[in-house]
Amino acid sequence: MTQAEVAAYVQNHLKRRGITVVLSGGAAVAIYSLNKYVSRDIDLVNSYAVERKRIRAAMEEIGFREIAKYFHHPQTSHIVEFPTGPLAIDDEPVEQLATIRLATGNLRLITATDCVRDRLAAYYFWDDRSSLEQAVLVACQKRVSMTEIRKWSTKLGMLPKFESFRRRVAGSRRAS
């Protein structure tokens, strides 16, 4: 299975057990960048603060074992993590989700615009250049709301860094 298929499989199994999770992080970047970015982990944000023991029991039903804070399965190299919710970018709750239909079920994930904002947050606050590159990859492959990203960036006082991001996206699109 692909990373997205594993994520959908796990997510749909958990949903049947009353556990709601949403894909975010590097796996979302990989999906939206059409695998130009590669991530081994699958971050499924625990939307409603379900107890860890319920998640562990549900994951064990499908062959995953918890080692430290990650869940491993012998038939995939992808590891699954459950960051605690609520699902947010910076301190702003995520309100819209995207859905991708896969052979293993529907995958609910953050939108491409929120994926870019998530990566830009790491660039803005920690000067994480790899997160900037990931944001550029997503923005070049998927339609994102630059207006929304600019507005959010302005609110954070990060307009100069946003402009740097915007120029990188424009330059990458011209080079393609």
Q: Average pLDDT, stretch 93-101?
A: 95
Q: What is the pLDDT of residues 42-81, one digit of tens each?
A: 999 988 778 999 999 999 999 999 999 999 999 999 999 9
Q: What is the pLDDT of residues 145-168, one digit of tens each?
A: 999 999 999 999 999 999 999 999
The answer to whether 30 and 82 are in contact (CB under 8 A) is no
Q: What span, in angstroms and rounded, lies between the C-alpha atoms of 61 and 160?
A: 49
Residue matched to tokens 């430290």: 68
User: Which pLDDT score, from 0 to 100, does residue 50 have?
Assistant: 85
Name residues whose C-beta falls within 8 Å of residue 138's C-beta, 6 or more positions apart in sequence: 29, 32, 33, 112, 115, 116, 119, 144
Q: Average pLDDT, stretch 4-22?
A: 97
CATH fold label, 3-110: Beta Polymerase; domain 2 (3.30.460)
